[in-house]
């Protein structure tokens, strides 16, 4: 009889799959590919539409089966938050987020539940989430502390932050991420670049105008005197709250004609944007993952990033570090770093080579094997 790892795949068909949806898909595929002899991977999903079930089958070919809950996603989330349901049974359950059936179980019988924590925004930046999401995440972390056999995080930096919120002892495991599936430059790169309207030379940055994301600091830096007037491609929404990208840029002295905004890009289009950038900027004041650095490194883009612990860990010296600090000093330091990379092509080349070498340390196959070993050791 095969040993079954039961993977919660619900985020793939969530209304907004987001980064966790991509993580679930990419880790799920790798888990299937890395399945040890005598084992199999089964999916667990909330009650969904037939098209959603078909999508999961298409995204994760090789699943041995799909357990379909009788509860829809919202109801299942509420039930699991309060431990009100025994579904979907026992065995080895792996949650790609805190969305998991965290309850008392019989470890001696082989039952185990592992969950994943991607950030601690509910504690550090609750204003970035809805009040319902904050309450749910805090409630589920309490259940994880009581019932989870292990908690996966993507960086040691996040493990340290999590330890200040809840004591999981030796149950925390660090399993890194890797570039999303499909993030590669194809033979049609020039056609894609033309369709996207990419300038010949540009900076690229992903994010919103939310202060902690650092985009406002980048725009402030670009408005400083003496900084090269290079265009910038912003990958993200046009507005955040009542702030608008073009208006903010104009107020900070950046010609709006230099701003090119793109959003909802396919992996192939995103790859072209990042790979073609003079430099990729990661200016977040607070980030627990660092996956965007891994992706930029893998595409050979010179990377300028802030000194968040996760970025420093992932980069390991492969990017140009800009300390955040306090006040307007961050924008001035960004301005200096941007000027250096844009004007010194040798420096940019060295960054690109260093980053590409660093990207080889991150692989979904390795992540999947670590997850299989984690469950085998519990």
pLDDT value at 8 more than 70: yes
Pseudo-torsion of CA 49, 53, 54, 60, nearest 10°?
150
Q: What angle do CA 32, 268, 65 make, to 5 degrees?
A: 20
Same fold, 3-178+363-377 and 188-360: yes
**pLDDT mean over 304-324:** 98
Q: Identify the pLDDT of residue 62.
A: 97
Beta bridge partners of 152: 116, 173
Digit-coded pLDDT (tens) for 143-181: 999 999 999 999 999 999 999 999 999 999 999 999 999
**For the chain, which residues make up each domain, given as ranges?**
3-178+363-377, 188-360
Return the structure tokens found at 306.
């802030």
Q: Identify the pLDDT of residue 344.
A: 97
pLDDT value at 87 more than 70: no
pLDDT value at 292 more than 90: yes
**Average pLDDT for the chain:** 95
Q: Decide: 90 and 110 in contact? Cβ < 8 Å.
A: yes
Question: pTM, whole model, 2 decimals?
Answer: 0.96
pLDDT value at 108 more than 90: no
Q: Identify the pLDDT of residue 197.
A: 97
CA distances from 259 to 59, 247, 250 (A): 35, 11, 10
**pLDDT mean over 69-91:** 86
Q: Identify the pLDDT of residue 88.
A: 74
Q: Identify the pLDDT of residue 121.
A: 96
Beta bridge partners of 114: 94, 150
**pLDDT mean over 214-231:** 97
d(CA 142, CA 149): 13
Query: Which DSSP category does 319 fall into?
Result: S
pLDDT value at 23 more than 70: yes
Q: Identify the pLDDT of residue 347.
A: 96
Q: Decide: 298 and 359 in contact? Cβ < 8 Å.
A: yes
Q: Decide: 79 and 103 in contact? Cβ < 8 Å.
A: no
Q: Identify the pLDDT of residue 343.
A: 97
Q: Identify the pLDDT of residue 375.
A: 96
Banded model confidence at residue 325, pLDDT cuts 50, 70, 90: confident
Q: Identify the pLDDT of residue 109.
A: 85
For 93, half-sphere exposure in the C-beta direction (CA atoms, 13 angstrom radius) is 30
- Return the closest-CA partner of residue 14 out of 55, 43, 42: 55
Domain 3-178+363-377: which CATH number of 3.40.50.2000, 1.10.490.10, 3.40.50.300, 3.30.365.10? 3.40.50.2000
Which residue has better confidence, 105 or 179? 179
Lowest mean pLDDT among 225-229, 327-331, 345-349: 327-331
pLDDT value at 86 more than 70: no
CATH 3.40.50.2000 corresponds to the domain 188-360: yes
Rounded to a whole number of angstroms, the distance between the first and last alpha carbons of the chain is 20
d(CA 33, CA 36): 9
């Amino acid at each position: 009889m095969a040993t079954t790892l039961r993977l919660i795949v619900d985020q793939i068909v969530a209304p907004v799959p987001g980064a966790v949806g991509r993580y679930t898909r990419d880790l799920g595929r790798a888990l299937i590919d890395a399945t040890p002899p005598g084992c199999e991977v089964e999916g667990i999903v909330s009650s969904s539409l037939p098209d959603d079930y078909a999508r999961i089958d298409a995204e994760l070919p090789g699943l041995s089966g799909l357990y379909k809950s009788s509860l829809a996603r919202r109801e299942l989330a509420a039930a699991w938050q309060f431990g009100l349901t025994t579904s979907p049974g026992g065995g080895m359950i792996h949650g790609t987020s805190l969305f998991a059936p965290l309850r008392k179980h019989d470890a001696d019988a082989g039952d185990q539940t592992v969950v994943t924590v991607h950030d601690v925004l509910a504690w550090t930046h609750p204003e970035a989430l809805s009040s319902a999401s904050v309450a749910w995440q805090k409630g589920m972390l309490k259940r994880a502390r009581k019932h989870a056999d292990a908690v996966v995080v993507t960086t040691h930096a996040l493990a340290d932050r999590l330890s200040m919120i809840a004591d999981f002892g030796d149950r925390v495991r660090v399993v890194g991420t890797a570039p999303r599936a499909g993030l590669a430059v194809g033979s049609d790169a020039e056609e894609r670049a033309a369709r996207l309207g990419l300038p010949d030379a540009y900076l690229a940055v992903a994010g919103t105008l939310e202060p902690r994301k650092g985009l406002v600091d980048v725009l402030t830096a670009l408005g400083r005197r003496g900084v090269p007037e290079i265009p910038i491609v912003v990958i993200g929404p046009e507005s955040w709250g009542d702030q608008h990208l073009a208006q903010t840029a104009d107020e900070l002295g950046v010609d709006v004609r230099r701003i090119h905004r793109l959003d909802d890009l396919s992996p192939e289009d995103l790859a072209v944007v990042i790979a073609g950038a003079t430099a990729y900027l990661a200016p977040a004041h607070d980030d627990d993952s660092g996956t965007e650095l891994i992706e930029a490194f893998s595409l050979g883009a010179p990377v300028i990033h802030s000194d968040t612990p996760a970025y420093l860990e992932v980069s390991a010296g492969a990017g140009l570090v800009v300390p955040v600090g306090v006040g307007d000093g961050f924008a001035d330091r960004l301005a200096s770093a941007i000027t250096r990379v844009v004007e010194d092509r040798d420096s940019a080349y060295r960054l690109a080579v260093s980053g590409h070498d660093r990207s080889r340390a991150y692989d979904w196959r390795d992540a999947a094997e670590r997850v299989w070993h984690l469950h085998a050791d519990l």
